[in-house]
Amino acid sequence: MQTQIDPTPIPIEDEYLFGWNPTPGIVSVWAHRDGRALIWRRVNGTVVRSAEHYIPWLLATSLQDVKYLGDALQPHDEHASHKVVLRYRKLNGPASSYKYLLYARESRLLEKTILEGAGHRLRRPLNMINELGDAYYRVGPVEQYLMSSGKVYFRGMTYQDLHRLQFDLETTALDPHRGRIFLVAIRDNHGFERVLEAATPEEEAHLIYELCALIRERDPDVIENHNLFGFDLPFLEHRATVHRVPLEIGRTGGPMVMESYQETLAVGPEARKRKRFSVVGRELIDTMDAVRRHDFVVRDIPSYGLKEVAKYFRIASPQRVYIEGSDIFETYQKNPNLVRRYAMDDVTEVDGLSQRLLGAPFALAGMAPRRYERLASAGPAMGILEPILVRSYLRRDAAPPYQAAQQSAEDGLHEGGAVHLFASGIAEQVVKADVASLYPSLMRTFRIGPSCDRLGIFLNILGRLTDLRLEHKEMALQNKRHSIESNHHAATQAAMKILINAAYGYMGAGKMALFADGKAAGEVTRRGRAILNSILDALRQRGMALIEADTDGVYFAVPRGWSAAQEKELVNSIASELPAGIRLEYEGRYRAMLSHEVKNYALLTYDNRLLVHGVALRSSRAEPFGDRFLRKALHCAMVGDVVGVRNLYLETVSDLRNRRLPASELATRVKLSKKPETYMEARNSHQEPAYEALLGAGRTHWEVGERVRFYRTRKGYVWLPDETEEAPIVTDWREQADGKVAPQTKTSLVTYQDIANRRDYDVEHYVQVLRNSYAARLSKAFSKEAFEQLFRAEQQPSLFDVDPPIESIEPLWIRHN
DNA sequence: GCTCTGTGGTG
DNA sequence: GATGACACAGAGC
C-alpha cells in the first residue's frame, strides 16, 4: 500500500517548481525519438505500463533554416494537412531569444529538415544539430516528454514505495581483461537475498545469465550499487560480451538490452568521460554519485569508498565482514562462506546508503523534468535548475533568452569569494562560524537575478524554494524521527537546498547557460566579500585569533577555557550586526587545528577524531606506512605531544632500517597510460618505474588503465600483483634422469602474498620518503630549527650539542595577542 | 616554471 | 541519450 503524502493538487504558483500534470506514481519513462513514450507507473503496489505519444520538439532562434519548406511549414493551429512536415509555435519574447518552438511527428525528421536548410544556407553538408552551435536548443526525448506534459516522476510516492534492488560483483581482478566474476550478491528492499556463484571460469556465463533472469523476475524499479557505473556495469558488460550473453535486464515491453553511450560527467570531481548505461523501464543508481554530491557540501568524507562511507554514516554493522580487495578471491577459495557474507554486507550497506542519501534526488525527480537516474548524478545548475526554468518559460508560452547575442554573460568576468589565511601553526579551542547559504541569501535579499529573465521566474523559484525548504525542515523536526513523514520532509528540504545552492553557480556558468548573467554573479560575490569582511572585523575587535576564512565561513581561536555557550554567544552577537536576511551560524568547535595552507588543515574534534582537509596534508603517493605515520604524527602535534612526534618518527625509521615492515606497506600504485609498444619505444631514453616493475616480472603485455603496485629495491622496481592468478597448478614437463619426459605438477611459485611480505626494499630511499613527503607536511607546525631537530634521520646528538632537549620544544602556537 | 592531463572508485 | 559544482599532483614542455 502506498503512502500518500500531500494528495492536494499543485497550486498555480508551484507549477514552475513541480510541473502541473498530477499523474501519480511514475517510476520510469522511456521515450523514443519517433514520438513513442513508455511510462511505468506504480499503482497500489503493482507496476503498470502505458504506451503514449508525445510530439518531438526543439527551440529555434529563427525560422531561416526551415523557411524553404514553404507550405510544409505551418503555425501550430493552421491547416490540418498531411503535407505539413514541420509546425511551429511563436513564443513571446524579444528579438534575441528562442522564439520558435519547432515540432514534427518525429525527432529525426525535425532535425533532418533543419540540417538540410542550414546546409543550403551555409553551403556545406551538416550532420548534427550541434554543428549549428546554440542557434537551437534541444533536450533529450524523455525531457521533451516531461517538459511538454508537465509530468514528473514519483508524484504522491514516498521513497519507501520504490522497489530497489542492489547487486554487487565479486571478481578475481579489477580489470575484466585480467579477471572474471566469481560471485554476485543480490538483495532488494522487499526482503529478497541471494548469492550466485561461479566456482570455475566455465560457470561465469551461466552466472551472468542467472543474474539477468533474477533481475527480470524481481522486477525492481531501481538498480543500485556503489560505483555501479565505474565498475560493476562495465565489468559485467565486458564479461557478457566475452561469453556472448545478452544483458537483458530491462523491463519487458522495451528493448531489454542494456544500452551504453559516452557521456562526460563534469559534476565536480567527476569531470571526465565515463560510460553511461541505461536500461528500459528501470533507473540505475550509483550511490557514489550521491556520496560525492553530499561531500560537495560538507567536504568531510575521508574517502568515497563504500566501507569508509558506511562507517562515516554509521550504517556499518558491527558484524560486518572486511576483506582486503586483493585477498577476496583467495579467501573465497579457502572460506567461501566468509566471502558470501562479505558480499551480502556490501549490498546491505549500499541499501543503507541509498536510504540515507537518495531521498534528495528522489525529491528532485518530483520537481525537475528529467529521469530520476539522471537527477541523481546531474549537475544541479545546468542539469536540474535549467530544465526547470525552461519548462516554466514554455508553460508561459515565453521564449527563453538567447545568450550568444547578448554580451552580459561574458563581460561579467568577476572575482570570486574571498580566501584568507591569517595564521599557520597549531591553534587550540577553534570555532567555525559561517553564513548559511550566503550567496542565495544575498540574491534573494537584494533581488539579484539574471537580467535576461524577463518573467522573474529565477528569483520567484529561489524565493519559493527558500520558503518551502524552511517549512519542510520544520515538518521534518515535528514528525517522529526516522518516520516516513520525517524522512520525506528531510529529503525534500535537502533537495531544495541543492537547488538553492545551485542558483548562484548557474548565473555565473558562462554563456552556455541560457539564463546566465556574469554581472549579476559578480555583484553577488562583491556583496559576499563585504559581508565576510564585516564578520572578520567584528571578530578582530573582540580579540579573537583569526586562522582562515573562505567565502562564507571563518575558523578562529577563542581564549582558552571558553565554554561552548560563550562561543555561541559571541557568534550570535556578531550575527545580530549583519544585514537582515543574512544569517551567521555557529557551526562547530574543535579541540585543535593545524593550519597548513589555505584550505589545507587538520582538525581534532573534542571526541578525538582527526579530520584532514586539503590534499597538502594527505599523502599523494599513498605508501601505506607513510599515511599511517602522518595521521599519528598530526594527532600528536595537535595535542602538543612533541616527544610523541619524535618517538613516532624514530620508530618508523627503525622499522624501516630493521625491515620490520612488509613490502606491501611501502608500495605505491600508479595507473598505466602507455601501451606496451609505446613504452618500449621510449624506454631507452626515459624509463618509468611502473613499467620497469612489470617488465622485471616478465610481463610484456598490459592494458592502458591497469593499476600497478610496486616498490623499490636497490636493484630496481618490483611488481606487487594485486590479484591471485587463477588455476595455480602448472604442469611442468621435465626430463627425468632416465631420459623419459614426465609431467610434474606443482603449485605456482609465488602468490602475491609472498611478494607482499618481502623485505628487500631500498631502506634509505624510504627513509627519505618518510622525511621528505610525510614529515614535511608537519613543517608548518614547528619552527625551522625545531623541525630539523625533530626529523633528523639519526638519533645522534648534533655536533655541537647546542640543541635544546626535545621535551622543551613547543609547536608553533596560534595564540591571541 | 608553466600548462595540460589525470584523479577520485571498484575486486 | 552530454556537461557546464573541485582541487590538486605529476607529466610534459
**Nearest DNA or RNA nucleotide to A379 (CA to C1'):** C5
Q: What is the mean pLDDT of chain A?
A: 84
Neighbours of A551 (CB within 10 A): 18
- Give the domain extent around A95: 1-154
Backbone angle region of A188, left / alpha / beta, with phi > 0 → left and psi within -120 to 50 → alpha: beta
Percent residues over pLDDT 90 in chain A: 37
Nucleic strand C contact set for A 497-536 (CB, < 7 Å): 498, 501-502, 505-506, 509-510, 512-513
Residues A458 and A584 in one domain: yes
Residue pair A103/A63 in contact by the 8 Å Cβ criterion: no
**Nearest DNA or RNA nucleotide to A328 (CA to C1'):** B11
Residue A262, exposed/middle/buried by CB under 10 A (0-12, 13-18, 19+)?
exposed
pLDDT of residue A208 exceeding 90: yes
Nearest CA to the C1' of C9 belongs to which residue?
Answer: A620
**Nearest DNA or RNA nucleotide to A329 (CA to C1'):** B11
Residue bearing the bigger pLDDT, A41 or A268: A41
Average pLDDT over residues A221-246: 91
A40: helix, strand or coil = strand
Residue pair A207/A246 in contact by the 8 Å Cβ criterion: no
Strand B within 7 A of A377 CB: no
Would A376 be classed as within a structural domain? Answer: no
Strand B within 7 A of A510 CB: no
Separation between Cα atoms, residue A136 and residue A108, nearest integer Å: 15
Residue pair A222/A165 in contact by the 8 Å Cβ criterion: yes
Residue where a domain stops, chosen among A738, A760, A782? A760
- As a rounded value in angstroms, the CA-to-C1' distance for A271 and C4 is 10
Range scoring the smallest mean pLDDT among A412-421, A448-457, A604-613, A803-812:
A412-421
The per-residue pLDDT for A399 is 93
- Chain segment A179-192, per-residue pLDDT in tens: 999 999 999 999 99
pLDDT of residue A223 exceeding 60: yes
Residues A214 and A148 in one domain: no
Tell me whether strands A553-557 and A425-435 are parallel, antiparallel or unpaired: antiparallel
- As a rounded value in angstroms, the CA-to-C1' distance for A157 and C1 is 26
Neighbours of A202 (CB within 10 A): 8
pLDDT of residue A458 exceeding 80: yes
- As a rounded value in angstroms, the CA-to-C1' distance for A506 and C5 is 9
Residues A112 and A194 in one domain: no
Residues A596 and A546 in one domain: yes
Residues A784 and A746 in one domain: no
The per-residue pLDDT for A342 is 96
Residues A690 and A802 in one domain: no
Handedness of CA A301, A307, A311, A313 (dihedral sign): positive
Separation between Cα atoms, residue A421 and residue A424, nearest integer Å: 8
Nearest CA to the C1' of B6 belongs to which residue?
Answer: A272
- Chain segment A401-413, per-residue pLDDT in tens: 987 544 444 444 5
Residues A173 and A144 in one domain: no
Strand C within 7 A of A626 CB: no
Q: Which helix (H) or strand (E) holds A491?
A: helix A484-507
Residue bearing the bigger pLDDT, A130 or A388: A388
- As a rounded value in angstroms, the CA-to-C1' distance for A377 and B3 is 30
| Cα–Cα nearest to A166, from A282, A29, A329, A49 | A282
Residue bearing the bigger pLDDT, A801 or A715: A715
The per-residue pLDDT for A669 is 79
Residues A324 and A245 in one domain: yes
Residues A21 and A116 in one domain: yes
List protein-proximal bases of chain C (any atom < 7 A from a CB): 1-12
Rg of the Cα trace of chain A? 31
- As a rounded value in angstroms, the CA-to-C1' distance for A403 and C3 is 17
Would A670 be classed as within a structural domain? Answer: yes
Would A377 be classed as within a structural domain? Answer: no
How long a stretch of residues is chain A? 817
Nearest CA to the C1' of C5 belongs to which residue?
Answer: A268
- Chain segment A561-614, per-residue pLDDT in tens: 999 999 999 999 999 999 988 889 998 899 999 888 877 888 898 988 888 777
Q: Which helix (H) or strand (E) holds A37?
A: strand A36-43
CATH number, domain containing residue A179: 3.30.420.10
pLDDT of residue A262 exceeding 60: no
Would A552 be classed as within a structural domain? Answer: yes
Q: How many domains does chain A have?
A: 5
Residue bearing the bigger pLDDT, A406 or A708: A708
Separation between Cα atoms, residue A563 and residue A582, nearest integer Å: 25
Residues A329 and A413 in one domain: no
Average pLDDT over residues A419-441: 88
Would A388 be classed as within a structural domain? Answer: no
Q: What are the phi and psi torsion angles at A771 (to 5°)?
A: -75, -50
Q: What are the phi and psi torsion angles at A782 (to 5°)?
A: -135, 160
pLDDT of residue A142 exceeding 60: yes
CA distances to A458, A547, A558, A589, A680 from A592, in Å: 42, 12, 11, 9, 51
- Chain segment A519-543, per-residue pLDDT in tens: 888 888 888 889 999 999 999 999 9
Residues A441 and A519 in one domain: yes
CA distances to A305, A345, A378, A587 from A292, in Å: 11, 21, 12, 21
pLDDT of residue A354 exceeding 80: yes
The per-residue pLDDT for A732 is 45
pLDDT of residue A59 exceeding 90: yes
Would you give the distance in Å from CA A62 to the centre of its chain? 39
Strand B within 7 A of A226 CB: yes
Helices (H) and strands (E) in chain A, counts: 24, 28
Strand C within 7 A of A261 CB: yes
List protein-proximal bases of chain B (any atom < 7 A from a CB): 6-11
pLDDT of residue A293 exceeding 60: yes
Residues A424 and A523 in one domain: yes
Average pLDDT over residues A645-659: 92
Strand C within 7 A of A416 CB: no
- The DSSP letter of residue A398 is B
CATH number, domain containing residue A58: 3.30.342
Would A505 be classed as within a structural domain? Answer: yes
C-alpha cell at A579: 544585514
pLDDT of residue A745 exceeding 60: no
- How far does chain A reach from its first CA to its final CA, in angstroms? 65
CATH number, domain containing residue A517: 3.90.1600.10
CA dihedral A461, A466, A472, A477 (to 10 degrees): 170
| Cα–Cα nearest to A472, from A451, A461, A488 | A488
Average pLDDT over residues A110-138: 85
pLDDT of residue A753 exceeding 70: no
- As a rounded value in angstroms, the CA-to-C1' distance for A270 and C5 is 10
Residue where a domain stops, chosen among A101, A120, A154? A154
The per-residue pLDDT for A405 is 45
| Cα–Cα nearest to A254, from A279, A274, A284, A233 | A279
Strand C within 7 A of A271 CB: yes
Helix/strand/coil (H, E, C) string of A736-755?
CCCCCEEEEEEECCCCHHHH
Would A80 be classed as within a structural domain? Answer: yes
Residue where a domain stops, chosen among A113, A130, A154? A154
Residue bearing the bigger pLDDT, A262 or A138: A138
The per-residue pLDDT for A737 is 54
Would A381 be classed as within a structural domain? Answer: no
Residue bearing the bigger pLDDT, A698 or A748: A698
Question: DSSP per residue over A548-606, as a string?
Answer: EEETTEEEEEPPTT--HHHHHHHHHHHHTTSPTT--EEEEEEEEEEEEEETTEEEEE-T
Separation between Cα atoms, residue A637 and residue A610, nearest integer Å: 12
Separation between Cα atoms, residue A354 and residue A342, nearest integer Å: 18
